[in-house]
Structure 1
Amino acid sequence: MVRGLLESKKYLIILDDVWTVNDWNKLNVVFSDCGCGSRLVVTTRDFDVATAAGEGSRVCKLRLLDQEEAWVLFCKKAFPTEPCPLELEPLARSIVEKCEGLPLAIIAMGGLLSLRDKTALGWNRIYKNLSWQLTNNQMLEPVKRILLLSFYDLPYRLKHCFLYCCMFPEDYVIHRKQLIRLWVAEGFVEETGKITMEEVAEDYLKELIHRNILQVVEKNLFGRLKACRMHDIVREVALSVSREEKFCTTYDELQERQNGKVRRMSIYSSGEINHSSAGMTHLRSLMVFDGNMSLSSSLSTMASSFRLLRVLNLERVPIESIPDEVTNMFNLRYLNLRETKVRELPESLWKPQNLQTLDVRNTGLERLPSGIVKLCKLRHLFINQMTNVSRNSVNFFRSIPVPIRICNLTSLQTLSAIEDREGEIVRKVGNLTQLRSLGISKVREIDGAELCNSIGKMKHLLKLRVTATREEETLELEALSPNPPPLLHKLFLYGRLEKMPPWLSSLVNLTHLGLYYSKLREEDPLSSLQALPNLVFLFLWNAYEGQQLCFRDGRFTKLSILSLRGMKELNRIVIEKGALATIQELILINCGELKTLPEGIEYLTGLQQLTLLEMPTELTDRLKLKDGSEEDRRKVGHIPIIERGQWTEAEEWVTERLN
């Protein structure tokens, strides 16, 4: 009936707040286009709905208000007849910042405060208790109600994933991979077909982003999410729901903690915990975000009562040891000790048989306990240790020995920075066919064929880092032909190669490539790399002993960052017109014979930054604003940032702008 009514008319129809693609598809059949100039406007909270409705039309994603726009809107509501008093302005601006450009929140907060006495004391009380205000103040009830519509519309499997995000501190940047592993550990993720739970969890995260419940903070150059966060007001609403459902709490909410069973707790800033086991025996997650908190005296007591704990996150907490009581947590699935002062793990670490993630990166750890080989459900093992970065350092991580039987843990997806011993690991690591990320060091030349045989079995491998026993040792990787991991995205090789491995050119999915100490001697070392269709990052450090590198026309079509370091003989770089069309950053480090600009650098119109570290003064002086070469400055005049730098006695790079 409606379709017939509209068929020959010129109409304007607004469909406000369409929730699902199915709803849109049902409605869309009504609207016919008879060429009369009709218009249809659809608003939605869901990106997928906008995509479906906007096919062939215009999709407009509304932005948040900027700081000045938000301030003007707030003042119109809070001070309709007078300007903001000077004594209230700092606090008022803090309240506006809390709203983060969300008009709904700005209007509600402005309206609420317009009815209050214009005193700092009264306003500060509301600011500090915003979470309580959202729950109990009728003036702010519409904000909570409207935002909760998005929460209640979530599928059941996503509600807990969303609420879990409010455990992170305000304005905390949540990294995608960490959040995914936490969701899996908590049991929020369902296994689906043949894909991993981590892949399912990433789909969950994408859906929360598309519904505009979480904000994107950072994407990589391929548009893939790297980090997200919660809008402050959305987080306050999530905290309110979490308290009502006793989903999670923070340590300073003492009354809430004592009145009910605490299932998840975050500690932001508390000094020393005065632990009481009352109400804490049901704890599933304990996450500590206070890098100055003292836990040494209470961790044993706490651990003895946390029998149901699944997640223990102590990243950056200054603890020096892990008590044996922690290993009695049979349900523990996620243990994060990253950047703590722990130097040794308990020998009884094998007891938490459900452990999925163990992160001991950048600790003082020298070895792993032998019992770790009994953790048959372990999926992610992070053990690489940061070393002091020196002027000539290339490999910034050190590895540690692991028991040979770790290669029996067939559920492993991540195994980083392990040491090979007498060729034992390279022969057995092929058992780990589910690996997505592998880092192995101290590989001998004679073990190259065995390593290639093992890597060839890893059909899911996405990231590979191989380090020889020493700088002069050859990495013998020829045997990886014809079966290199087909999905490999990131490859980093530390050691002599002499010539490019023949299989390298077949890695069509490769996005990151780093060659260190390769000492390549072939005439055109770039020939096998130029056609890699998806290469975005290329690092050649001490990798080539020739005098010239040539980037051919139409090659490296997606390269964004190029770094050349330690090329002692290199004296000429040629960039043909049409090469490196997408380059954004060029970094040249310690190439002592390169005294002229790369020929053709003027063709790199998209180049945003040129960095010259420890490069000859004959080159850098020519780029100075004063007394430099006018011709060279003209060639690089389109580059927004040009800087040079030197390594200081304090062992750090110091840079200065040249333009």
Structure 2
Amino acid sequence: MASAAVDHVIGLIVSTVQNEATLSVGINDELDEIRRELVSMKSFLHDAERKQVMSEVMKTWVADVRGIADQIEDLIDEYMYYVYRQQHFTKLHRIFRTPKTLLETRQIASKLQQINKTIKGMDERRQRYGIDRIEGSNDHYNFPLYQRDLALFMKEDDVVGFVDESRLLKTWLMDKEEHRTLISTVGMGGSGKTTLVAKTYNDETVKSYFECCAWITVSQTYTRDDLLRSLIKEFHQSRKEEVPNDLGTKDFKDLVGILIGHLEQKKYLVVLDDVWDTNLWEAIKVSLPNNQFGSRIMLTTRKQDVGSYSSDVRSHILTIKPLKEEEAWDLFCMKAFSSCRGNSCPKELEPWALELVRKCKGLPLAVVALGGLLSSKKSITEWSSVCDNLNWQLNNNQMLEVVKSILLLSFSDLPSPLKHCFLYCCLFPEDYEIRRKRLIKLWIAEGFVQQVDRTAPKEVAESYLMELILRSMLQVVRRNEFGRPKRCKMHDLLREIGLSISEKEKFGVVYDGKVEIGECESHQARRLSIQTTKWDLQSYSSITRLRSLFVFVNGSVSFSNTLMSKFKLLRTLDLENAAIDVLPEELGTLFNLRYLNLRGTPMAELPKSIGELRNLELLDISETNIKELPSEVAKLQNLRHLNMWSKFIADIHNFELVRGMQVPFEISKLKKLQVMANIEAEGNIIKQLRSMTQVSRMGISNLKEADEQNMCSSIQNLKLLHHLCLMVNNETEFLRVDALRTPHPNFRSFFCLGN
């Protein structure tokens, strides 16, 4: 995570230096020097974090780097706050900096200079004590490999479920197709991929169908030549043949020759278990001949793109689904109550047993591990303790170490930006269905999305989301009509482990009422998610470094003016569906705010100080009681998304209920606005829309036949528009679009409600 934090800060420095002409020379120089130092440390950090068991010296060093990265981010934001405040003085003060601002600038420069010295000192300490030469261990990687080997020796009676899946795999293995065929089994860590494939591999009818077989556990750290050596050994040993001598001295060409010579006249079966590398097949396919004897290659993977191949090979993909409720229950009882007649659960323990099985969400690894843990616990007190403290158990109980280790592998393999994005998802409540659009806009507002040449941040964020889905770290629960993910959620246990990392790394914390508020404060968390009605926002006033605040509660919510001033570095404020009636005027002091989500709140008006949020990029007031935007909104020059859908939009055929927002005439001055829906067609607003050339999504309601000419003229001028929704105010109103000369080439959807 330290490497992810450093990557994030390097991007922040580059962005700040490039985009802010207001930087003083001293601060610019210090930031550039810090950037160079951090870049030089990155490669070591990546290597260090791959060692899942680090020395204490290395742990301390890595934690120090993470802390320094957080300090740099804070100082950059503080400096931009002083710049923001300076810009709100008189015209004279904009030309001549006030003494106070000069002093603050010097203080920031001095702090950055001290950080620079600290970073150089850390690098010297690393070299002096040979931290980069201290070997950590990869025990977390080796432990699951031992468990994988056990899967090969499981009895048929120990496997619950997978009946249909096993039958399908056997069909693919033994069909009449003579071409070499790849069969991929895909699923999240612990989903039973290895167990299923081992069950099929060990089936006597399968073993007798092939002339020689090999099972290889690949994992993340394989080398191509060692993989080929393992294949040669396995194939020879499966037929009780002598293994060729001096394999260790053979190069790639020789190893390929040995394999081809051994396999070209045989029907063979290869299992490649736990594949992470998308290029593995390309690397080894030349050594596995397509000999037209019906040979098969099976692999298991957590990543869907590993299981997708080019057209040069015949392939099948089986995606593992969670165990059904009754299957998960049977498996749990088999492990937890093996000493009871018929593996039956005692009635007094049933409520806790059912709750624990529910938390496993059909993940066989978790079901087996929890069942084994509880097999020695007989009292209700012991069971309720495990159920109520599952997060602690995952992190401290050796019997659940395998669950944590296997799920941590998926996190460790993520690229740096995706680690932040994944941990961000953990801040949503358990079983919460997260809207795709909401999530990617939050990532962008937080600065997690890296800049890619000629690619919009939204597209980069979409690719991050798809990567997490392909890696089985997010589950799609709903798709739109085009097949794109619409809502996602996390597996409970994956979320618990993510929260543990998040708290340890001071990334973020969830307050759900199970711990004292003081414990949350001690984390000095940079993100806070409140998920209990037993809370008082004033209690969080000491957490002054917050970047994100979520409120997921049904009870009444209120913000005081003094509280807002405590959160001056806040980037995102998400109050969706919270029972908040009003925001204080001090909202305008949140100069750093990029994202303000008020969707579904009972709020009836916005404070006029909203115009002071010069960095605001998204404002969502959909499904609120707000009917009119204050004129101050026109000052939000960085605003890109303005979502204002009516809370009655679901009743689309009731013309009286489908209404838009009344917007100020000056809204046409917002030249960066890309999404604006849904607005009322009043006054000259339709004519003014033609100047908003960056708009790509737009909704207009209360249109009349008289608006046709101006509306079509404006739409014709919006070359980037690809989603358009037009609505009239009653069922007798006619709406013509004949004046649209040619359809926009970028148009993807056009919705029209009216005659």
TM-score (structure 1 length as normaliser): 0.71
Tell me what 1:57 maps to: 315
Dislocated runs of 4+, deviation >4 Å = 387-392
Unaligned runs of 5+ in 2: 1-253
Residue 637 of structure 2 is aligned to residue 376 of structure 1:
yes
1:264 Cα deviation from its structure 2 partner? 0.6
1:35 Cα deviation from its structure 2 partner? 2.6
SS at match of 1:183: helix
1:28 Cα deviation from its structure 2 partner? 2.6
* Structure 2 Cα separation of the partners of residues 231 and 195 of structure 1: 31
Residue 680 of structure 2 is aligned to residue 427 of structure 1:
no
SS at match of 1:59: strand
Tell me what 2:292 maps to: 35
Which residue type is aligned with residue 522 of structure 2?
N
1:147 to 386, 397, 407: 407
1:299 Cα deviation from its structure 2 partner? 3.9
Tell me what 2:612 maps to: 351
1:487 Cα deviation from its structure 2 partner? 3.1
For residues 377-436 of structure 1, the C-alpha deviation after alignment (integer angstroms, 9 at most, x for no partner) is 1111112333499897246421222112211212212101212223x2222212222323
* Structure 1 Cα separation of the partners of residues 615 and 434 of structure 2: 24
Distance change in 2, residues 1:2/1:493 (3 Å): same
1:134 to 394, 397, 422: 394
1:266 to 524, 529, 537: 529
Residue 438 of structure 2 is aligned to residue 438 of structure 1:
no
2:749 to 483, 490, 503: 490
Residue 355 of structure 2 is aligned to residue 98 of structure 1:
no
Distance change in 2, residues 1:173/1:409 (3 Å): same
> Where in structure 2 are the equivalents of 1:340-419 lying within 5 Å?
340-387=601-648, 393-394=654-655, 396-419=657-680
2:464 to 204, 227, 236: 204
1:339 to 600, 603, 608: 600
> Where in structure 2 are the equivalents of 1:158-557 lying within 5 Å?
158-251=418-511, 252=513, 253=515, 254-273=517-536, 275-277=538-540, 279-292=542-555, 294-296=556-558, 298-387=559-648, 393-394=654-655, 396-422=657-683, 424-468=684-728, 470-482=730-742, 484-494=743-753, 516=754, 518=755
TM-score (structure 2 length as normaliser): 0.62
* Structure 2 Cα separation of the partners of residues 387 and 221 of structure 1: 21
Tell me what 2:277 maps to: 20
Mean Cα displacement is larger for which, 379-388 or 152-161? 379-388
**Structure (1 or 2) with the greater strand fraction:** 1
For residues 577-631 of structure 1, the C-alpha deviation after alignment (integer angstroms, 9 at most, x for no partner) is xxxxxxxxxxxxxxxxxxxxxxxxxxxxxxxxxxxxxxxxxxxxxxxxxxxxxxx
* Structure 1 Cα separation of the partners of residues 657 and 450 of structure 2: 37
Which residue type is aligned with residue 266 of structure 1?
S
* Structure 1 Cα separation of the partners of residues 560 and 376 of structure 2: 47
* Structure 1 Cα separation of the partners of residues 502 and 400 of structure 2: 18
* Structure 2 Cα separation of the partners of residues 114 and 366 of structure 1: 59
Distance change in 2, residues 1:493/1:388 (3 Å): closer
1:376 Cα deviation from its structure 2 partner? 1.1
1:238 Cα deviation from its structure 2 partner? 0.5
1:266 Cα deviation from its structure 2 partner? 0.7
Tell me what 1:124 maps to: 384
Distance change in 2, residues 1:256/1:4 (3 Å): farther
CA contact (8 A) 1:77 1:114 kept: yes
1:209 Cα deviation from its structure 2 partner? 0.3
Distance change in 2, residues 1:77/1:53 (3 Å): farther
CA contact (8 A) 1:214 1:228 kept: yes
Mean Cα displacement is larger for which, 94-103 or 315-324? 315-324
Which residue type is aligned with residue 163 of structure 1?
L
CA contact (8 A) 1:272 1:295 kept: no
Tell me what 2:329 maps to: 71
Distance change in 2, residues 1:248/1:387 (3 Å): same
Which residue type is aligned with residue 326 of structure 2?
E
Give the % identical residues: 45
Which residue type is aligned with residue 488 of structure 1?
F
1:271 Cα deviation from its structure 2 partner? 3.6
For residues 40-87 of structure 1, the C-alpha deviation after alignment (integer angstroms, 9 at most, x for no partner) is 111111100001289522111122111111111111111112122111
Distance change in 2, residues 1:181/1:360 (3 Å): same
CA contact (8 A) 1:257 1:279 kept: no
1:278 Cα deviation from its structure 2 partner? 5.7
* Structure 2 Cα separation of the partners of residues 137 and 53 of structure 1: 44
* Structure 2 Cα separation of the partners of residues 486 and 418 of structure 1: 24
Tell me what 2:257 maps to: 4
1:152 Cα deviation from its structure 2 partner? 0.8
1:288 Cα deviation from its structure 2 partner? 0.7
* Structure 1 Cα separation of the partners of residues 298 and 623 of structure 2: 53
* Structure 2 Cα separation of the partners of residues 480 and 37 of structure 1: 60
2:304 to 47, 66, 81: 47
1:103 Cα deviation from its structure 2 partner? 0.8
1:196 Cα deviation from its structure 2 partner? 2.0
Distance change in 2, residues 1:454/1:391 (3 Å): closer
* Structure 2 Cα separation of the partners of residues 48 and 221 of structure 1: 23
CA contact (8 A) 2:374 2:383 kept: yes
* Structure 2 Cα separation of the partners of residues 275 and 440 of structure 1: 40
Distance change in 2, residues 1:421/1:326 (3 Å): same
For residues 6-59 of structure 1, the C-alpha deviation after alignment (integer angstroms, 9 at most, x for no partner) is 224233221111112123322333222223333211111110000128952211
Distance change in 2, residues 1:390/1:274 (3 Å): closer
Mean Cα displacement is larger for which, 35-44 or 365-374? 35-44
SS at match of 2:273: strand
* Structure 2 Cα separation of the partners of residues 104 and 392 of structure 1: 49
* Structure 2 Cα separation of the partners of residues 218 and 63 of structure 1: 16
Aligned length, in residue pairs: 491
Work out which structure has the larger RCO, using CA pairs closer than 8 Å and 6 or more positions apart in sequence: 2
Distance change in 2, residues 1:434/1:56 (3 Å): farther
CA contact (8 A) 1:243 1:256 kept: no
* Structure 2 Cα separation of the partners of residues 446 and 193 of structure 1: 44
CA contact (8 A) 2:655 2:730 kept: no
**Structure (1 or 2) with the greater helix fraction:** 2
* Structure 2 Cα separation of the partners of residues 50 and 415 of structure 1: 40
Mean Cα displacement is larger for which, 361-370 or 237-246? 361-370
Distance change in 2, residues 1:392/1:99 (3 Å): closer
For residues 125-158 of structure 1, the C-alpha deviation after alignment (integer angstroms, 9 at most, x for no partner) is 1111111111111111111111111111111111
Q: CA RMSD in A?
A: 2.1
* Structure 1 Cα separation of the partners of residues 525 and 629 of structure 2: 33
